[in-house]
Amino acid sequence: QVQLQESGPGLVKPAETLSLTCTVSGGSISSYSWTWIRQPPGKGLDWIGYIYYSGTTSYNPSLKSRVTISVDSSKNQFSLRLNSVTAADTAVYYCARGGSKYGSDAFDIWGQGTMVIVSS
């Protein structure tokens, strides 16, 4: 059974870079697409972007200039980097799997989420 687990700092200073990693267990990362989604406190879901195992990426146009998603197949992990963060980037960050039999943009497996606060 495939499981996802986010990891990374829970507190990031303004103007610095937010870095998170998602570890895939119970299956290979060398298939599907791998996605980051965030949810500000009390608000809705915000798609950040995804990466295919081949390395092809797609990003939210509103975040594209600040976002990089990468994959490390040797570690069965994929990562998110969001630079120049502000308080508006405070959110629960989820990693998720797409591209399964449910469709390219249907996310069928999710991590539990990790809260990231941007504050000095």
- The residues that touch other proteins, with contacts defined as CB under 8 A, are 35, 44-47, 49-50, 58-61, 94, 102-108, 110-113
Chain centroid to Cα 104, Å, comes to 16
Half-sphere exposure in the Cβ direction for 56 (13 Å, CA): 6
CB of 104 to other proteins, least distance (A): 8
CB of 75 to other proteins, least distance (A): 22
Whether residue 13 contacts residue 77, with contact meaning beta carbons closer than 8 Å, is answered with no
Nearer Cβ to other proteins, position 72 or 105?
105
- Residue 110: C-alpha distances to residues 25, 45, 91, 95, 107 (Å): 12, 13, 16, 6, 7
CB of 107 to other proteins, least distance (A): 6
Nearer Cβ to other proteins, position 3 or 83?
3
